[in-house]
Chain A
């Protein structure tokens, strides 16, 4: 799937640029994407290391297990494949909570650890498990209470009420999360 999409992006984009005589744009794009990726990784890496450190303390002290037990009843309905009290539940909930508070860079390490721990439960290591996809759908819905980037962009553009978008955002995001989870469940049944 990703393979086809990737080919489509590159072939269609490149041909369109060449036909329009913009080979220079194409050259820049080809040569600059390594730098763009590295910049992104350099942004992610330090925060990732810090959160992985903090998270390991929470894991070693048993705090993560405690948090998992607390939130387990709700999440086990959404993730029926994960055994009760498994560490993934704690990591998944940490990721969701960090996202809710608009802390994207804290949410990513939790999410990566959650995926790693779901991978331990996964029987086919190269294939996404049902819980992994459910977790992914929750993340792609961008569940957040404060869309901080957009609010600051609105402030930059002298909006009279920069936070006016917050409530409709929350409503849209939660309904689409709900529908997203239903879509995910329908897909999961069909793929069995």
Chain B
């Protein structure tokens, strides 16, 4: 699998360039013309990303989330969901790096092969940073009204957590 991943990019680049050469287009100029689009794209990307990182950073570093979890603890024990995975489940859609930092903490605390760590890894690995993706994609092309995009994305994230709780016990 890893070999396949490693070969993917070089093979793709080769195919594109050889195909372009055979079709007799100016491969070099096309590359430059395409690469030129990178700068305006990045410029459009910066303000929405800045705004989102600004908000997320204040929120995630405030400690408010920890307080809420302490409050929720008894409820989650009642419905038999391990509370330890809750921070990752909640933070995963909001911040990729924060989710990864939480995962790192869990590995340090319980070890990488602990059941809770594995559960958290699978939640982290089977989803993506919804809020970042919405900000990046919609912000860059200038979409302001996102309609139901956030709800659909977050519901899919919730599904990932629920599915993990059912599927992981079958494997470990």
Q: Are B46 and A184 in contact (CB under 8 A)?
A: no
Given that A37-B50, A48-B38 are contacting pairs, would A157 and B112 also be in contact in the complex, using a CB cutoff of 8 Å?
yes
Judged by a CB distance under 8 angstroms, whether A71 is at the interface is: no
Judged by a CB distance under 8 angstroms, whether A121 is at the interface is: no
Chain B proximity mask over A139-155: 1 for CB below 8 Å, otherwise 0: 11110111111100110
Contacting residues of chain B (40-60) with chain A, CB-CB under 8 angstroms: 41-42, 45-46, 49-60
| Whole-angstrom CA separation of A112 from B48 in the bound complex | 14
| Whole-angstrom CA separation of A136 from B149 in the bound complex | 7
> Which residue of the partner chain A has the closest CB to B156?
A180
Q: Are A112 and B128 in contact (CB under 8 A)?
A: no
**B58 contact from A10, A53, A61, A139, Cβ within 8 A:** A10
Given that A60-B20, A103-B5, A157-B112 are contacting pairs, would A132 and B143 also be in contact in the complex, using a CB cutoff of 8 Å?
yes
Given that A9-B56, A146-B5, A157-B112 are contacting pairs, would A175 and B163 also be in contact in the complex, using a CB cutoff of 8 Å?
yes
Which residues on B sit within 8 Å (CB–CB) of A159? 112-113
Given that A30-B54, A61-B25 are contacting pairs, would A137 and B152 also be in contact in the complex, using a CB cutoff of 8 Å?
yes
Q: How many residues of B contact A (CB 8 A)?
A: 99
Chain B nearest Cβ from A105, distance in angstroms: 10
Contacting residues of chain B (66-83) with chain A, CB-CB under 8 angstroms: 67
Interface of A is mostly: helix
**A2 contact from B12, B54, B150, Cβ within 8 A:** B150
**A136 contact from B19, B122, B134, Cβ within 8 A:** B134
**A37 contact from B46, B163, B170, Cβ within 8 A:** B46
**B128 contact from A124, A139, A188, A191, Cβ within 8 A:** A139
Q: Are A12 and B49 in contact (CB under 8 A)?
A: no
> Which residue of the partner chain B has the closest CB to A132?
B143
Chain B proximity mask over A153-192: 1 for CB below 8 Å, otherwise 0: 1100111111011111101110111011001100110110
Chain B nearest Cβ from A123, distance in angstroms: 13
Which residues on B sit within 8 Å (CB–CB) of A184? 152
Which residues on A sit within 8 Å (CB–CB) of B100? 149, 153
| Whole-angstrom CA separation of A61 from B31 in the bound complex | 11
Which residues on B sit within 8 Å (CB–CB) of A149? 100
Q: Are A176 and B156 in contact (CB under 8 A)?
A: yes
Chain A proximity mask over B116-143: 1 for CB below 8 Å, otherwise 0: 0010011011111111011111101111
> Which residue of the partner chain B has the closest CB to A167?
B171
Chain A nearest Cβ from B27, distance in angstroms: 5
A-B contact pairs, 12 of them (CB 8 A): A14-B62, A38-B46, A53-B33, A60-B25, A61-B16, A61-B25, A136-B149, A141-B126, A154-B112, A157-B104, A173-B125, A173-B160
Give 6 closest A-B pairs by Cβ, nearest first. Answer: A56-B34, A142-B128, A180-B156, A49-B38, A147-B125, A159-B112
- Spell out B's residues near A (CB within 8 Å): 1-2, 4-5, 8-9, 12-13, 15-17, 19-20, 23, 25, 27, 30-39, 41-42, 45-46, 49-64, 67, 93, 100, 103-104, 107-108, 111-113, 118, 121-122, 124-131, 133-138, 140-153, 155-157, 159-160, 163-164, 167-168, 170-172
- Spell out A's residues near B (CB within 8 Å): 1-2, 5-6, 9-10, 12-14, 16-17, 20, 22, 25-26, 29-30, 32-34, 36-38, 40-41, 44-45, 48-50, 52-63, 101-103, 106, 108, 111-112, 115-116, 119, 124-128, 132-133, 136-137, 139-142, 144-150, 153-154, 157-162, 164-169, 171-173, 175-177, 179-180, 183-184, 187-188, 190-191
